[in-house]
A and B are shown apart, each in its own frame.
Chain A
Amino acid sequence: MSIQWKDYSSDGSYDELITASGNSRVAARGVVRYIKSLSDQDMRERRDAAELAMQVMGITFTVYSEGEEGGIDRTWPFDIIPRIISAREWKRIDAGLKQRTQALNLFIADIYGEKKIVRDHVFPHDVLAKSVNYREQCAGIRPALDVWAHICGSDLVRDSDGTMYVLEDNLRVPSGVSYMLENRLVMKRVFPELFENYSILPVDGYPTRLFDMLASLSPRPADYPTVVVLSPGIYNSAYFEHSYLAQQMGVELVIGSDLVVTEDDCVYLRTIGGLERVDVIYRRIDDLYLDPEAFLPDSVIGVPGLMRAWRKGNVAIANAPGAGVADDKVVYAFVPAMIRYYLDEEPILPNVPTYLCMYAAQRERVLANMDKLVVKPANESGGYGMMIGPAASKKVRQKFAELICKDPRNYIAQPALSLSTAPTLCDGHVEPRHLDLRPFILSGESRHVTRGGLTRVALKKGSLVVNSSQGGGSKDTWIVETGDK
């Protein structure tokens, strides 16, 4: 390819493949050399092949748009240059994520149980009282294995000095893992020769791990468990993933109306031969829509009586209802404290420094530095409702200052990190684009972290927003064994 790596500049951001002096990083050496050997035409052909593969495989996400007929399914932009991390670095990240989810699970169990962490003044009662994801319906319940957040998707970002930070933990219904798996398949179709000379850790064990974890939660351990994936339905943006995971695990994909809770407080599937008992539900529906008897009464996608069945221990639900209490950007700020409190360990992976607007002193600092900070609401996902200070107009900053003063508990602020970049094919040539990484952590009897995760990339030049709903794409993520362990 006619790329001159010495002209490639990520403007002060850390680049995942290329060093500041224009050399390739050790783990990326083979890929960089190979891409250089390809002509522009070659690259275009590979990109087209990848696009075609994604179309044929039907890898899509769903966009809501009214009045558009049949066009709700989009293929997700995919970049063919992989993001590469050395196995040595990954080992540390793996350990850090396990540590983190262990502490988070202990926290959730504690919050719905004895609330020791509040009594010991490590976690303020106020935060809990105002958490929109705290579910009083879950207080006193002890789910199987005392695990609440069985599937966690934590977002990692790398700052300009190369430090990897945890940006947030998604504990409700994190999505994206199917794209991680599919991206690898596409890469194997498009760049088979690269896999021959590289030792890339495989990712395809995830569905098996997921199934084993779910099966281990069954209330009837003696029998082969009936596991289902509960989806809100075909119009949900992650429907592809729900279907994909069900298929890969060999379990039923269901919507609310396929399930029924009868007088014996057990959950059943409606089948052509009558009702069949369900043991484990991997739900991809938000808490509030899960059961109209317990939560929003007009939810039509839920299953009436589901909470009853769960409370009685007749069915396992993953993630457990209420697990989202720790999926809150204010609670996030306390995770390092949780790790110290529950595990008596130092956090392996750092948090991004976070100012809590609920505290007057921190709020003052935030309001004085609106042009340097990123302000986020505590409970939004998908990149909505946030303000990136350095890029925001004075008017927007003023609006957010008012929002903060009105509801300080709901806002946090963080320094604007310059997210790391990686070479990305844009309009026929390679340019740096910002990215993040979402590994997935399974917690059951033991913990398992995906090898790598989903790398999301902001395809717009200079943009820091990687969400698929807002112009983001994705890359395959390689954890690579290099000789020097």
Chain B
Amino acid sequence: MLLSSVAERVYWMSRYIERAENTARIILVNHNLLLDLPRNMEFGWEALVTITGSLELFQQHYDEATERNVLRFLVADQSNPNCITCSLGMARENLRTTRAILPRATWETLNDLYAYARDNKTSGMSRRGRYAYMRRIIDYCQLLAGKLSSTMSHDQTYGFIRMGRNMERADMTGRVIDVRASNMLPSLSEDLKPFDDIQWKSVLDSLAGYQMYRRHVHVRIRGRAVLSFLLKDKLFPRTVHYCLAEVEYCLRGLPGNEPSLRILGRAQRLVQEVDVNDILSAGLNSFVDDLEKVHAQLHSQLTATYFAAPEEQAAVPIAATS
């Protein structure tokens, strides 16, 4: 038996943990990338804010996307609910209210992680302390995922944790592709400009996928192959295809899953049937927009079916499925 309120909280807990990890990862990758790129190359920090989907909010609070401002905004700015410390704080609140259900050791770890992230944020924003800070955030988030996976029954509650993680991952992969790749698209048809390959590598790094790409896609790094890998690969756990398959697996174990499965099916077809060459010619943005739209619909459907109180369930219209 699983309370609707609990399902909702563990789903969000999981999303927030994943969000914190992803944010730390893109900061780390950007940090490394900047050290490699020549000084005059325009590749700043604003892209990171765009990837987290908070550009508008950022511009309300800051005049310029300097390294300092972006780092503050992504690590510790209380006005940004998606910043690392806020995400972990929200994850912690959600876990605090579901502590009776999740393994005790996960609470200890998350509590620890939150305290670390909060107490060391200044160091995390500095150039010198950044690597250690982000590394620790990433490691602890992974530790949490591991503890959840290996010390709790893979029941429906776990299913919601898993769905939350994969919904967030798919979202992130979509946005990394959107922001990162579209910056580079003009050069795709021409010979690789110098440094394009390290940028594509950084796209893969942002999703921890470089090494696996090299092992499984026997092509040197090229935009087309990278895009295809990140969207369609069946084995790497951060590709859109893989994440959606995970969500499907979890949904199959839940009651009342038909409307959600229908929307999920549309998302899956979108990814499977698209030709990367077409995306490149027709524009990446419209494809990613479609993907984001159906992704948002799926999230609303999950909320309506599983999280809303029963009397409200009837009142919420089933999200458009056509």
Q: Are A and B associated in one complex?
A: yes
A56 touches B156 (CB 8 A): no
A272 touches B254 (CB 8 A): yes
| Those of B81-118 within 8 Å (CB) of chain A | 89, 93, 96-101, 104, 107-108, 111-112, 115
Asked if B12 is at the interface of the complex by the 8 Å CB criterion, the answer is: no
Which residues of the other chain, A, contact B309 by a CB distance below 8 angstroms? 257, 270
- B145 to chain A minimum Cβ distance, whole angstroms, is 19
Binding stretch for chain A, among B3-11, B165-173, B261-269: B3-11
Which residues of the other chain, B, contact A260 by a CB distance below 8 angstroms? 310
B111 touches A58 (CB 8 A): yes
Q: Which of A244, A246, A258 contacts B5 (CB 8 A)?
A: A258
Asked if A196 is at the interface of the complex by the 8 Å CB criterion, the answer is: no
- B120 to chain A minimum Cβ distance, whole angstroms, is 16
Q: Which of A56, A234, A255, A271 contacts B96 (CB 8 A)?
A: A234
Which residues of the other chain, A, contact B1 by a CB distance below 8 angstroms? 226, 252, 269, 271, 273, 276
Q: Which of B2, B101, B107 contacts A271 (CB 8 A)?
A: B2
B2 touches A275 (CB 8 A): no
A275 touches B310 (CB 8 A): yes
In angstroms, Cα B109 to Cα A56, docked, is: 8
Contact with B along A261-282 (1 / 0, CB 8 A): 0000000011111111000000
Chain A interface size, as a band, is: 20 to 34
In angstroms, Cα B6 to Cα A254, docked, is: 9
A257 touches B112 (CB 8 A): no
Asked if B182 is at the interface of the complex by the 8 Å CB criterion, the answer is: no
In angstroms, Cα B89 to Cα A252, docked, is: 23
Residue of B whose beta carbon sits closest to that of A242: B100
In angstroms, Cα B186 to Cα A32, docked, is: 78
B89 touches A243 (CB 8 A): no
Of the listed residues B4, B78, B107, B306, the one surrounded by the most CB atoms of chain A closer than 10 A to its CB is B4
In angstroms, Cα B98 to Cα A315, docked, is: 24
Asked if A419 is at the interface of the complex by the 8 Å CB criterion, the answer is: no
| Those of A161-209 within 8 Å (CB) of chain B | none
Asked if B283 is at the interface of the complex by the 8 Å CB criterion, the answer is: no
B255 touches A243 (CB 8 A): no
Given A70-B89, A243-B100, does the pair A271, B4 have CB atoms closer than 8 Å?
yes
B5 touches A56 (CB 8 A): no
In angstroms, Cα B101 to Cα A244, docked, is: 10
Asked if B129 is at the interface of the complex by the 8 Å CB criterion, the answer is: no
Q: Which of A243, A247, A254 contacts B3 (CB 8 A)?
A: A254
B5 touches A257 (CB 8 A): yes
Which residues of the other chain, B, contact A253 by a CB distance below 8 angstroms? 98-101
Residue of A whose beta carbon sits closest to that of B2: A272
Asked if A2 is at the interface of the complex by the 8 Å CB criterion, the answer is: no
How many chain B residues touch the partner (CB < 8 A)? 30
In angstroms, Cα B270 to Cα A136, docked, is: 64
Contact with A along B146-168 (1 / 0, CB 8 A): 00000000001000000000000
- A220 to chain B minimum Cβ distance, whole angstroms, is 15
Which residues of the other chain, B, contact A258 by a CB distance below 8 angstroms? 3-5
In angstroms, Cα B6 to Cα A276, docked, is: 14
Given A56-B108, A56-B111, does the pair A272, B4 have CB atoms closer than 8 Å?
yes
A272 touches B97 (CB 8 A): no
In angstroms, Cα B1 to Cα A276, docked, is: 8
Asked if A69 is at the interface of the complex by the 8 Å CB criterion, the answer is: yes
Asked if B256 is at the interface of the complex by the 8 Å CB criterion, the answer is: yes
Given A58-B107, A243-B99, A252-B3, does the pair A270, B112 have CB atoms closer than 8 Å?
no
Asked if A57 is at the interface of the complex by the 8 Å CB criterion, the answer is: yes
Residue of A whose beta carbon sits closest to that of B310: A270
Which residues of the other chain, B, contact A234 by a CB distance below 8 angstroms? 93, 96-97
In angstroms, Cα B2 to Cα A275, docked, is: 10
In angstroms, Cα B314 to Cα A274, docked, is: 12
Which residues of the other chain, B, contact A57 by a CB distance below 8 angstroms? 108
In angstroms, Cα B43 to Cα A453, docked, is: 63
Which residues of the other chain, A, contact B7 by a CB distance below 8 angstroms? 272
In angstroms, Cα B115 to Cα A272, docked, is: 32
- B109 to chain A minimum Cβ distance, whole angstroms, is 9
- A124 to chain B minimum Cβ distance, whole angstroms, is 44
Which residues of the other chain, B, contact A255 by a CB distance below 8 angstroms? 5
Asked if A55 is at the interface of the complex by the 8 Å CB criterion, the answer is: yes
Which residues of the other chain, A, contact B256 by a CB distance below 8 angstroms? 272-273
Given A56-B108, A56-B111, A275-B310, does the pair A270, B97 have CB atoms closer than 8 Å?
no
In angstroms, Cα B54 to Cα A477, docked, is: 52
In angstroms, Cα B104 to Cα A142, docked, is: 39
Which residues of the other chain, A, contact B93 by a CB distance below 8 angstroms? 234
Which residues of the other chain, B, contact A254 by a CB distance below 8 angstroms? 3, 5
Which residues of the other chain, B, contact A56 by a CB distance below 8 angstroms? 108, 111-112
In angstroms, Cα B268 to Cα A343, docked, is: 73
In angstroms, Cα B107 to Cα A145, docked, is: 38
Which residues of the other chain, A, contact B4 by a CB distance below 8 angstroms? 258, 270-272
In angstroms, Cα B98 to Cα A433, docked, is: 37
In angstroms, Cα B307 to Cα A258, docked, is: 11
Of the listed residues A58, A257, A275, A276, the one surrounded by the most CB atoms of chain B closer than 10 A to its CB is A58
- A300 to chain B minimum Cβ distance, whole angstroms, is 14
In angstroms, Cα B108 to Cα A57, docked, is: 6
Given A56-B111, A58-B111, A252-B3, does the pair A272, B156 have CB atoms closer than 8 Å?
yes
In angstroms, Cα B39 to Cα A237, docked, is: 55
Which residues of the other chain, A, contact B255 by a CB distance below 8 angstroms? 272-274
- B39 to chain A minimum Cβ distance, whole angstroms, is 40
In angstroms, Cα B42 to Cα A394, docked, is: 76
In angstroms, Cα B309 to Cα A470, docked, is: 39
In angstroms, Cα B305 to Cα A253, docked, is: 21
B3 touches A270 (CB 8 A): yes
Residue of B whose beta carbon sits closest to that of A259: B3
Given A272-B2, A272-B255, A273-B256, does the pair A247, B100 have CB atoms closer than 8 Å?
yes
Which residues of the other chain, A, contact B112 by a CB distance below 8 angstroms? 56
B3 touches A271 (CB 8 A): yes
Which residues of the other chain, A, contact B97 by a CB distance below 8 angstroms? 234, 243
In angstroms, Cα B1 to Cα A269, docked, is: 9
- A372 to chain B minimum Cβ distance, whole angstroms, is 46
Residue of B whose beta carbon sits closest to that of A57: B108
Residue of A whose beta carbon sits closest to that of B97: A234
Which residues of the other chain, B, contact A69 by a CB distance below 8 angstroms? 78
Residue of A whose beta carbon sits closest to that of B104: A247
| Those of B268-322 within 8 Å (CB) of chain A | 305-306, 309-310
Q: A58-B96, A58-B107 are in contact. List 20 more A-B contacts (CB 8 A).
A: A55-B111, A56-B111, A56-B112, A58-B99, A234-B96, A244-B99, A247-B104, A253-B98, A253-B101, A260-B310, A269-B1, A269-B3, A270-B5, A270-B310, A271-B2, A271-B3, A272-B254, A272-B256, A273-B2, A274-B255
Give me 12 A-to-B residue pairs in the complex whose CB atoms sit less than 8 angstroms apart, sorted by A's number: A57-B108, A58-B111, A243-B99, A246-B100, A254-B3, A257-B309, A269-B3, A272-B2, A272-B7, A273-B1, A275-B310, A276-B1
Chain B residues near A (Cβ < 8 Å): 1-7, 78, 89, 93, 96-101, 104, 107-108, 111-112, 115, 156, 254-256, 305-306, 309-310
The 3 closest A-B pairs by CB, nearest first: A246-B100, A247-B100, A273-B255
